Homo-oligomer: A and B are copies of this chain.
């Protein structure tokens, strides 16, 4: 994190390439020169801290943000101050894609824990993608990926019981952490119970109770924000089982 004094130049560039790579160069398809150009427009900021804001609902849209380390939450606020959490974003994930359409941010984003964030001015990214077809392709894929993840979330919220939802949330977190090479079974929740509850459409107390229940059943250890998953399989089967129970296989009609 603070390794930028001495060795900084290459380290940071590589670090940032990593972060950019994770998001933009997913499978392959960009030549080293392309990556070089891409890297040139990425702005690195100094570390941000809990409560810092990346952008607010209504702000003009200028840049996408990539989480290098740490975590971010996005949320929407109603006209009278209600707050609904829309998502949590872990290292390697991209924020702000929903603002491209209107040129205005539709939600706010704040930092949950000390985080390193890369900023990518979208105008530059777009014009770069004009010249690099494979970058254009990556961008399409990236936008599409976000849509797929939202659909997954819809699936999660379609589930009715609190256990299903919290299990789904934990499994999702676990999978995304593993994907970035972090521990999939031992991690800290950077968000409050309140924020989890809002995200899952539950009451804070219910979240707390289900954590306790999972603990009693031996699925996990929980102490405040520190979580250790003991039986990931059990949690996964809760999620999988859920889908079958409701909607017992009505056939989509046949001609």
Interface residues of A (CB under 8 A from B): 49-53, 75-76, 78-87, 97-102, 106-108, 110, 126, 129-130, 133, 136-137, 139-148, 150-151, 153-155, 157-160, 194, 198-199, 201-202, 240, 243-250, 252-255
Tell me the smallest distance from the CB of A125 to a CB of chain B, in Å. 10
Roughly how many angstroms separate A201 CA and B153 CA in the complex, as a whole number? 12
Are B155 and A76 in contact, CB atoms less than 8 angstroms apart? yes
Which residues of B lie under 8 Å from residue A142 when comparing CB positions? 101
Are B155 and A154 in contact, CB atoms less than 8 angstroms apart? no
Taking the full assembly, how many copies of this chain does it contain? 2
Roughly how many angstroms separate A75 CA and B151 CA in the complex, as a whole number? 10
Q: Pick the residue among B85, B144, B240, B243 that contacts A101 (CB under 8 A).
A: B144
Nearest opposing residue in chain B for A155, CB measure? B84
Nearest opposing residue in chain B for A50, CB measure? B253
Roughly how many angstroms separate A85 CA and B50 CA in the complex, as a whole number? 37
Roughly how many angstroms separate A111 CA and B155 CA in the complex, as a whole number? 21
24 contacts between A and B (CB under 8 A): A50-B253, A51-B253, A51-B255, A76-B155, A78-B240, A80-B244, A82-B243, A82-B249, A83-B252, A84-B155, A97-B144, A97-B147, A98-B147, A99-B144, A100-B143, A101-B144, A106-B148, A106-B151, A107-B151, A130-B136, A147-B150, A154-B157, A157-B158, A160-B201
Are A240 and B79 in contact, CB atoms less than 8 angstroms apart? yes
Are B148 and A249 in contact, CB atoms less than 8 angstroms apart? no
Tell me the smallest distance from the CB of A116 to a CB of chain B, in Å. 17
Most buried by B among A78, A86, A153: A78
Are B86 and A154 in contact, CB atoms less than 8 angstroms apart? yes
Roughly how many angstroms separate A87 CA and B84 CA in the complex, as a whole number? 21
Tell me the smallest distance from the CB of A140 to a CB of chain B, in Å. 5
Are B249 and A86 in contact, CB atoms less than 8 angstroms apart? no
Which residues of B lie under 8 Å from residue A246 when comparing CB positions? 82, 84, 198
Are B145 and A150 in contact, CB atoms less than 8 angstroms apart? no
Tell me the smallest distance from the CB of A115 to a CB of chain B, in Å. 13
Which residues of B lie under 8 Å from residue A198 when comparing CB positions? 158, 246-247
Nearest opposing residue in chain B for A145, CB measure? B101
